[in-house]
Structure 1
Amino acid sequence: MEAHCKEAIERRGFVRIDDTIVLKYRKADMNDFQNNDGRLSADMSSFTIKARFAAIDQKLRPVRHSLEQRSPELLTYLNAIDEKLNLLADLAFETEHDLIDLPTQEVSLSAGGTSFLTQKPLELGTLLELWLLLLPSHAGIITYANVIYCKKINDNNQLYPYKVGVEFKNIREEDADLIICHVLKKEADERRRRSKLKVR
């Protein structure tokens, strides 16, 4: 894990960005939430497999760095295995979830929560089951979230006239870390893009 990513993870929840992701949700059953200690049974579906891979990669980064110093050939071999596993993960996801047909939308995203537009208002305190697909990595996160605000927007958006803000509830620590690193990478990419435009 890069140093700036580690530092941001320690400041969990303070890093936020406007982003384009795939998002879907449904109202959750509070009884299921309480009976399962706030954990989702769908947490290990093919939708989340890339996120699970990313969490494992983060844990193994010190080992990988050591291997890079000792045996570049072994590291090359392990990278090839990683590539094969990612290809299989993409295939499993696309087969089950039909990636091409999933719509994207603009959100404001942090490790603590997100905001997005909806067709209908949601009551404050509503518990949601939230599915987030980060792009372009296709890392999927499934978590619970509480609605903390819902307001009607005045920008002539007739299809999605409401803006909803949610706070993640019992999100896996690895998923929160993944969001932070995703946000930082997006910020770095945007800075590079702006720098190139200035050079021109």
Structure 2
Amino acid sequence: MESKCKETTERRSFVRIDDKVILKYRKTNSLELQAGTESFSTNANSFTIKAQFAAIDQKNRQARSILEQHSTELANHLKAIDEKLDLLADIAFEMDHDLSKLSTQKVNLSAGGTSFLAQKPLELGTLLELWLLLLPSHTGIITYATVIYCKRSNDEGSKQYPYKIGVEFKNIREEDADLIACHVLKKEANERRRRPKMTCK
């Protein structure tokens, strides 16, 4: 686990993947940006509950690793607790957010920012409050972002969503950047495993 997190820290600024996520955003302003996460709407806790659990796990990772090395029974017990918390987090999320009404969309994602298709253009420098739900873990992250480009899209579905928006995360929490980086690296590794292996004749 420790080596994986180290790799994440070193590579997260430039590793990007094409992914499908649930994403929504709204325009905001510098006053809300200065206010930080306190300005987020009240149902943020249920949306970000898994991210909050992951942040706590990250802080206790080293101590937990030591304990698990000393006791297989304790390791299994902690794993069972994690599974129960995941179930509770899923229930809390579903009580406030109806997934059937949330559609996925294609994005290009890294720990530093993302790009997505949109129906309307956004001016460069526009500040956004961005809600990002990573799949299939249903890990929700809320952060701010700045529009760094807006251009006409040639992607599939561009008739309905003719603009491609690129944003850079702004004031993102370190723990959330780590979560995105881990998600990106895991997806990247899965893609590599699915690629057919080249054989030499």
C-alpha displacement of 1:41: 3.4
Deviates more, 1:171-180 or 1:57-66: 57-66
Question: What letter is aligned with 1:187?
Answer: E
Residue by residue, what CA displacement relative to the aligned partner does 1:43-75 show, whole Å, maximum 9, x if unpaired?
851100101111222222222221222111111
Cα RMSD for the two superposed structures: 2.0
**Which residue identity is paired with 2:28?**
A
Code of the aligned partner of 2:163: Y
How far has the Cα of 1:158 moved from its partner?
Answer: 1.1
Report the Cα distance in structure 1 between the residues aligned to 2:20 and 2:198, rounded to whole angstroms: 22
In 2, Cα distance between equivalents of 1:2 and 1:161: 42
* Residue number in structure 1 paired with 2:152: 152
Is the 1:5–1:184 Cα contact (8 Å) retained in structure 2?
Answer: no
- The answer to whether 1:13 aligns with 2:17 is no
SS of 2:48's equivalent in the other structure is helix
Q: Scaled by the length of structure 1, what TM-score is found?
A: 0.90
How far residue 97 of structure 1 moved from its aligned partner, in angstroms, is 0.6
Q: Distance in 1 between matches of 2:147 and 2:38?
A: 18
Q: Which moved more, 1:6-15 or 1:141-150?
A: 6-15
The residue type equivalent to 1:64 in the other structure is R
2:22 match: secondary structure: strand
Letter in 2 for 1:171: I
What pairs with 1:46-85 in structure 2 (closer than 5 Å)?
46-85=46-85
Deviation at 1:40, TM superposition (A): 4.3
Contact 1:40 1:143 in 2 (8 A): no
**Aligned counterpart, 1:39:** 37
Mapped to 1, the partners of 2:164 and 2:61 lie a distance apart of: 38
Distance (whole Å) between structure 1 residues aligned to residue 61 and residue 94 of structure 2: 28
**Normalised TM-score (structure 2):** 0.90
SS of 1:75's partner is helix
Shift in CA distance, 187/5, structure 1 to aligned 2, threshold 3 Å: farther
Query: Retained in 2: the 8 A contact 1:126–1:147?
Result: yes
Instruction: Spell out structure 1 runs of 4+ moving beyond 4 A.
Output: 195-198
Q: Could you tell me how far apart the structure 1 residues matched to 2:10 and 2:160 are? A: 39
Sequence identity (%):
71
Distance 1:122 1:33, change over 3 A: same
How many equivalent residue pairs? 196
For structure 1, which runs of at least 5 residues remain unmatched after alignment? none
Counterpart of 1:163 in structure 2 is 164
Q: For 1:11-48, what per-residue CA distance to the aligned partner results, in whole angstroms no more than 9, with x for missing partners?
A: 441111111111000111332223x1x33433851100
Supply the distance in 2 between the matched residues of 1:126 and 1:61 (Cα, whole angstroms).
37
Please name the residue that 2:195 is paired with: 194
Q: What is the rounded CA distance, in whole Å, between the counterparts of 1:12 and 1:4 in structure 2?
A: 11
Give runs of aligned pairs for residues 62-141 of structure 1, distance below 5 A.
62-141=62-141
Q: Does 1:184 align with 2:182?
A: no
The answer for the alignment partner of 1:25 in structure 2 is 25
Partner of 2:103: helix, strand, or coil?
coil
Residues in 1 aligned to 2:150 and 2:97: alpha-carbon distance in whole angstroms:
29
